[in-house]
Structure 1
Amino acid sequence: MSADPATVTLRQPLRWPSEGLSRIPVRIYSDAQVYRDEQDLLFRGPTWNYLGLAHEIPGEGDFLTSRIGDTPVVMMRAADGSVRALVNRCAHKGSLICYEPQGHSAHARLVCPYHNWIYDLDGKCLSVAFEKGIQGRGGMPEDFDRSQVTLRVLRVEVLHGLVFATFSDSVAPLRDYLGPEMLHHVERTLGGRTLKVLARYSHIMPNNWKLYIENSRDTYHPSLLHSFFATFKLNRLSADGGVQHDADSRHHLVFAKRHTDVGSAEYSSGTLRAMKTDYGLEDPSLIDQWIEFPDQITNSIQSLFPGFVLQQILNSIGTRQTHPIGVDKCELIWTLLGFEEDTPEQAEIRLKQSNLVGPHGFVSMEDGAIGGFVQRGVAGDPDIHALVEMGGRGVGTADNRATETSVRGFYKFYRELLHV
C-alpha cells in the first residue's frame, strides 16, 4: 500500500531548487518533517506571531485563547493593565488550562480543569492539589519543589491594539521586526481610533497553511480568480497600485486605488475568464464606499510574516490569522473591525461590506477552495517545483501588481529560518 501523500516524511533532507526563489518545491506542502521543522524553527523561532486584540480583554483576568503554530497560547489582562501571554498547557499532564475561546478568570489566576493546579500570570505554580497528600499519606515526593514548576511565559508587544507574542529572546522588538514601511501602514489603518469588533468567523481550509499565505501575497490573481472584483471594478490590475516590502522582504503590502481604473484591453474585451459582463447587483449600495484615508487607497492587503493579514477591502477593515492544523489543513480566523468614532452611516457601510469577505464573501470564497485545488493537484508527485517568475526572479518593492515578488519574499525568510 502506498503512503498517503499528505503525510509523507522526507527520506532525505529538503533541497531547494538551484533556480532559487523563483521555484518552490511542492513537497513543503505535504511533508511531515518539514511541518515539524516549521513548528520548531519558524513559529517557535525568531518571529512575532499575532494572538488577538487587546480590546477583547479589557479587564483584569479577562483572557483570549489562540495558537502559535501548533502551540496553544492564552493571553490575559494583568492587574497592572499589561497583556501577558503564556503557553496554555499545564505542567502536570499537559492539559489545556483555558479551554474556552474567551472568558474571565477570577483573581487573574490560571486553574487547570484536570487536577486543579493553579498558576499566576508569571507562570509560577501557586498550588498543587493534595501536594502533601491526605492525612500524611500519598502526595508529592518530599523533594518536590513547586517553585520549579512553571508555565512558559512569552514576550508580548501591543501595536495599535494588535497583540503579538514570540518565543524568542533574541528577535528584534516588534516595531524593528516590521520595519518603518509596514509599521506606517498599521498605524495608518488602525491608529488614532478605538477598535470595535463587528464579527468573527473561521473556517477550515483543505490545504497547507503556506498556500493561504502565498495567496494573500499573490497580487497576480485577485482580478482573475475573483469574478466579483473584476466585474464591479473593485480591484483590477489596470488601477493604480503597487507592492511594498520591508527592507528584508519578510512582510508584504499590496494596494490599489479603485477610482483610478481606466480599463484595459484585457478587461474591456471580456476575454478574461473572470470577467462577467452580464452580471448586475440587486442592491448597488453593497459596494458604496467613502474614501477613508488621505492616500486614497481603497484596497490593501498587508501580510506580516508568518501568518497575519491586515485587510482593507473598500471600507471593510479586518484581521486574518492563519493557524496550521497538520500538513494539509489550516484554520483561517477572520475578525471584522469598526471604530467607536464611526458615524451611523459609516457603521452601516462596514456591516454591508462584511458580505465581501470571509468564507462565503463575494470576493473571498474562492480563496477557500483554490488552496485545496493546489493541494490536490500536487499530491503524489512531491519532487516537482512551482514556478513563480511573474515580475522577475528577485524580491523587493514593485510599482505594479503583475508580480509574484511577495511570494518570493516570503520564501526568502522561510529558507533562512529552516536552513534550506
Structure 2
Amino acid sequence: MTVSNRMKWPENADHTAVPYYVFHDQDIYNREQDKIYNGPAWHFVALEAELLQLGSFKSTYIGDTPVVVTRGQDNEIYAWVNRCAHRGAEVCRHRHGVSEDGTFTCVYHQWAYDAKGDLRGVPFQRGLAGKGGYPKDFDKTQHGLRKVKVVSYCGAIFGTFSDATPDIETYMGEDVSLFFKRIMNRPVEVLGTTRQYIKGNWKFYAENSKDPYHASLLHLFHATFGLYRSSQEGATLINNDFHTVLWAKSGEEDEAALEDVKKDKLRTYQAGTYTLNDPSLLVGQQEFDDGISLVILTLFPSLVLQQIQNTLAVRQILPKGKDEFELVWTYFGYTDDSEELRNIRLKQLNLIGPAGLISMEDGESTELCHKAIVSDGDRTNVILMSGSETQSEGHLVTESAVRGLWKGYRKMMDL
C-alpha cells in the first residue's frame, strides 16, 4: 500500500502540528489496519479473570478483525480469528461463555474447531451414499482458523499477528511495565463491564488519555473535589514514544501552582461552590505505599489501565471504522479484597465509565473534535504545551506524551 502525496506529513511540522486528515481519511484507516493492527504491536484482548473455567471464551477485536480468546481444556490460553475457514462466516456468536466440550462450530455448514482453532470436524467430508464429499487428499490440518500469538502478562492477555513483535516488556518499556506490575500485583476479579460507542476517530481518545492537563480544564468534578488537578504532585512518563504513564497524588499540591489556578478563575475549579449529598463516594482507602492516587497507563494502540482512587479498570479501544469506535470498560478488584474495600470500589464505579462523574466528558470532547474538522483535513492542530519535545516530565502541565504518540504513530505508519 502506498501513501499518496496528500498523506505526507507537513514539512517542518514535527509532532506539534498534526494534519486533520489522519482522523478522517479512509486510506489512513486502511493503512492503520495493515501497519498497526496487523503489525508488530501487542493488543490487549482480555483479563485472565474473564476466562476462569476450562472452555471459557471471550469474543473481541484486534483493530477491526474479530478474534476469540479461549482457555483450552489443557488450561492454556489461545486466540484465533473469528472467521470460518470454509466460507468466512463468524464462528463464535457470543461475547462470553463456556464451551463445555471445548469446541466451536460454525452455524453455516457446521465446520467444528477446538479451543486452539484447529479444524476437527467437517460434515459430509466423505459425501453421502458415495456421492459428493471432499477430495481424498483434503487435509483438515491445513484448514484451521488463523491463529493469534498470545502472551499473558500479570493476568492481562495480549495478542499480535506479527512475528516481529518484541517481547511484551520490551514493547512496554521500563516505566510502563513497572506501573503495570504495580496495579496488576496480584490476582484480580472482574466487577463488571460497560460499553459505549463514540462517534469519533479512535486516535482522538488515544490523545485524550495521554493528555494530563485537560483533566483540570474539562472535568469539573475532578478539579472541584480534588481527585485530580494539574497543581498536584505528579509526572508524565513516556516509553518507546507512545506508551505512557500519568500519575498524581491527591492532597499533594504545589501551593504556588494552586494559587495560579485560582487566579485564572477556571470554570472547572469550583471548590466550596458544590458539595455532595453523599460524601462517602469519595471516602476510600490508601492501597499503595507510594501514596499515588491516580494512574492512567496507556499501551498503544488499544489499552488504558487505570487507578483512580480505589477504582481499577482496563479500557479497550476498538475502532469501528474511521468515524467511530467502541470503548469497553472492564472494572476489577483484587480477589483478596475485604468486603469493605469491594463495596468502596463498587460505589466509586460511579466516577468512571460512559456516564462517570469524571469521564463522561471525554466521549463528548472526542465527538466535538471529530465533527469540527471534517472539512479541514489539510489544516493542523497545535500541540505545544511545555514545548516541542517528547521526553518524560516531572509535572502534569504538558502535551509531551501526545507528541510522543504522534512520533511513534508516524514511525509505525511510515508517514
Question: Is the shorter-chain TM-score for this pair beyond 0.5, marking a shared fold?
Answer: yes
Q: Distance in 1 between matches of 2:162 and 2:369?
A: 33
Unaligned runs of 5+ in 1: 1-9
- Quick one: distance in 1 between partners of 2:126 and 2:390? 61
Please give the per-residue CA displacement for 1:217-252, whole angstroms capped at 9, x wherever unaligned.
111200100000111111011110011122x22200
Give 3-state SS (helix, strand or coil) of 1:384's partner. coil
Quick one: distance in 1 between partners of 2:107 and 2:218? Answer: 46
* 1:118 is the counterpart of 2:93: no
Q: Which residue of 2 aligns with 1:39?
A: 33
User: 1:314 aligns to what?
Assistant: 309
Q: How many Å apart are 1:310 and its aligned residue?
A: 0.4
Aligned with 2:252 (options 254, 257, 260): 260
Cα distance per residue 1:174-230 (max 9 Å; x no partner): 122112211111111111x22111110010001001111110011120010000011
One-letter code aligned to 1:261: E
Q: Which residue of 1 aligns with 2:277?
A: 282
Distance 2:99 2:115 in 1: 11
Q: Deviations over 1:373-404 (max 9, x none)?
A: 00011111111111111111121210111111
Q: Which moved more, 1:77-86 or 1:362-371?
A: 77-86
Pair 1:341 & 2:336 matched = yes
User: What per-residue deviation string (whole Å, max 9, x for no partner) do you get for residues 137-194 of structure 1?
Assistant: 2233455433321211111111111000100111111122112211111111111x22
Q: Residue 103 of structure 2: which of 97, 104, 109 is its match? A: 109
Aligned to 1:200: 193
The answer to whether 1:388 aligns with 2:383 is: yes
Alignment gaps of 5+ in structure 2: none
Q: Specify the alignment match of 2:237 in structure 1.
A: 244
- Taking the aligned partners of 2:10 and 2:214, their CA distance within structure 1 comes to 24
Alpha-carbon distance between aligned partners in 2 of 1:84 and 1:341, rounded to the nearest angstrom: 27
Structure 2 residue 23 is the aligned partner of structure 1 residue 29: yes
**1:270–1:276 Cα contact (<8 Å) kept:** no
Aligned AA (1:291)? Q
Aligned-partner Cα distance in 1 for 2:285–2:345: 10
**Aligned equivalents of 1:156, 1:222: Cα separation in 2:** 34
1:172 and 2:166 correspond: yes
Q: Does 1:181 align with 2:175?
A: yes
Q: Which residue of 1 aligns with 2:352?
A: 357
Contact 2:262 2:269 in 1 (8 A): no
Which among 203, 214, 217 is matched to residue 210 of structure 2?
Answer: 217
Structure 1 residues 219-234: aligned runs within 5 Å: 219-234=212-227
* Contact 1:54 1:162 (C-alpha < 8 Å) held by counterparts: yes
Question: Is structure 2 residue 305 aligned with structure 1 residue 303?
Answer: no
Report sequence identity in percent. Answer: 38
Q: Hey, what's the Cα distance between the residues in 2 that align with 1:225 and 1:313? A: 16
TM-score, normalised with respect to structure 1: 0.94
Q: CA deviation at 1:336?
A: 0.9
- 1:293 pairs, out of 288, 292, 303, with 288
SS of the residue corresponding to residue 180 of structure 2 reads helix
Match among 409, 416, 419 for residue 411 of structure 2: 416
SS of match in other structure, 1:107 = coil
**Equivalent position amino acid for 1:100 in 2:** H
Q: 2:151 touches 2:159 (CA, 8 Å); kept in 1?
A: yes
| TM-score (ref. length: structure 2) | 0.95
- Could you tell me whether the CA contact under 8 Å between 1:266 and 1:272 is conserved in 2? no
Paired residue total: 410
Using the TM superposition, give the Cα deviation of residue 363 of structure 1 relative to its aligned residue in structure 2, in angstroms.
0.2
Deviations 1:25-63 (A, max 9, x none): 110111111101100110110000000111121222111
- Distance of 2:141 and 2:229 partners within structure 1: 60
Amino acid of the structure 2 residue aligned with 1:125: L
| Alignment partners' CA distance in 2, 1:90 and 1:13 | 38
Q: Secondary structure at the match of 2:236?
A: strand
* C-alpha separation in 1, matches of 2:210 and 2:121: 47
Q: How far apart are the structure 1 equivalents of 2:58 and 2:4?
A: 40
